[in-house]
A and B are shown apart, each in its own frame.
Chain A
């Protein structure tokens, strides 16, 4: 009886995921093998869309840009987010305070996507806070260009995704048994060994979970590169510009390549760490 209830409980989740998540991916995989015939496409099975992209002269640039920007954004988020999660878990004692601090990180979600990135103009724009302060201090004569360049991507991506890095690490650190840390201290382990061998290694599932999130969320973004980085050529942007021209087979093929990249990175990371440890067992 109890067993059947469990399967019944799973049903709504499976149906939703099946229809709105798996079916769209299957359709995209199918369309990516269709033959593109102007102005639409012809059903069939041909790898021409993949071959066209991979042999095009822009392909190496696009792939390198995609990898370097998304991985760097994830690494920066990790470097900034880990200390935050660490301090939050071990230095803030009151549980109420922890909850407040985590809720405070929700700020970027209160505004819509476009406005929250446009708001950076106020700080980094040509006559934004930073430039006008520097000019009034006579540090510079001409305003510096902070926006509309590759580095802008990192500022916006890190600011909006930091919560997703901090939260899983915090969850993982919360699960580190204080007894283990105390035992190591009693046995006179040097602080860096306590940190690296116990705390850091046990928090790895959280680190990986956060890393995957930031990586994937930046991988699938086309709006930030388009609005803020002078149309830097990344895969997500290519997918959306094909889709904008109704070139479905090409857009689907690039989309599938994007998914494969995400899955490969995920597979490698999951080989290193068992992410399920965060949730059960």
Chain B
């Protein structure tokens, strides 16, 4: 073992930061099995009642076991649809835009800043602005509004990710193919796409994840129960925080984790 002290400290620092970032999530999962409704340490006992308990018929929303709470499942379903749609659209938009912005197109700097505007506009403005736009145009707020407020926010990140990681030689390969008289479509399919497939994929995952927990923007354009973020936010501003919400949070984390795991499995095959 000839590891230097500095390297050791660096590793310890990395582990500490990751632990701090994970701490709330770890305790969220742990305390969701607590018998007490109050969020407290040490745990009183282990129970699954907050997940699959019996319905007694007189509970407040903060005490209904998650399995019987249909609004929660409705919002979870909405969240899944919204995030998948946001992931796919982000992926497509980022890929087309990043491919074009590599070239010296007219007004490239202006376009670049315009696209970055999505992450420079404070969240509350984006949500409220979309709501006001739809009211002024007398349009009905739909599912797609929740999708697009997330997309507009995720695209700049996807662009940053993709453009910073493009292979410097990518354009040379494309030119070589074009000199050899390959059609633009086959250049894209045979040369460009295989070389940028990981960036394309990470843009999609980014769109999904940034949209999954989004509250600030989607709050203004929600319909019905909205997504899990907006629904639980509404509930918690009006009702006490009990262990039940920790159980709900655990399920939300499980669903997104499962989505990523399935994706990872499909890709590794």
- Seen from chain A, the residues whose Cβ lies within 8 Å of a Cβ on chain B are 1-3, 5-7, 9-10, 12-14, 16-17, 20-25, 27-28, 31, 80, 83-84, 87-88, 91-92, 101, 104-116, 118-123, 125, 127-129, 131-133, 159, 162, 168, 171, 209, 212-213, 216-217, 219-223, 226-227, 236, 239-240, 243, 248, 251-252, 255, 258-259, 262-263, 266, 276, 278-280
Contacts and interface: CB of A to CB of B under 8 A. Distances in A.
B124 A24 contact: no
A258 B124 contact: yes
B38 A127 contact: yes
Contacts of B17: 80, 84, 162
6 contacts: A17-B117, A110-B257, A122-B246, A129-B41, A220-B123, A243-B124
Contacts of A115: 28, 232, 245-246, 248-249, 252-253
B126 A24 contact: yes
Contacts of A266: 120
B63 to A, nearest CB: 16
Main secondary structure of the interface of B (DSSP, over half): helix
A7 B132 CA distance: 30
B11 A280 contact: no
B237 A28 contact: no
B173 interface: no
A16 B152 contact: yes
Interface in B125-168: 125-126, 128-130, 132-133, 136, 148-149, 151-152, 155, 159-160, 163-165
Given A16-B152, A114-B215, A280-B102, A21 B121 contact: yes
Given A10-B97, A84-B14, A105 B21 contact: yes
Contacts of B106: 7
Contact of B228 (A112, A226, A248): A112
B122 A127 contact: no
Range class of the B interface residue count:
35 or more
B119 interface: yes
Given A119-B25, A280-B163, A114 B97 contact: no
Nearest to A117: B24
B227 A112 contact: yes
B229 A113 contact: yes
Contact of A162 (B21, B125, B165): B21
Nearest to B94: A13
Contact of A107 (B21, B100, B214, B219): B21
Given A10-B105, A115-B245, A227 B125 contact: no
A263 B25 contact: no
Contacts of B47: none
Given A28-B132, A88-B14, A159 B21 contact: yes
B152 to A, nearest CB: 5
Interface string B32-65: 0000001111100000000000000000000000
A106 to B, nearest CB: 6
Give the interface centre of A6, A84, A91, A119 by most chain B CB atoms within 10 Å: A119
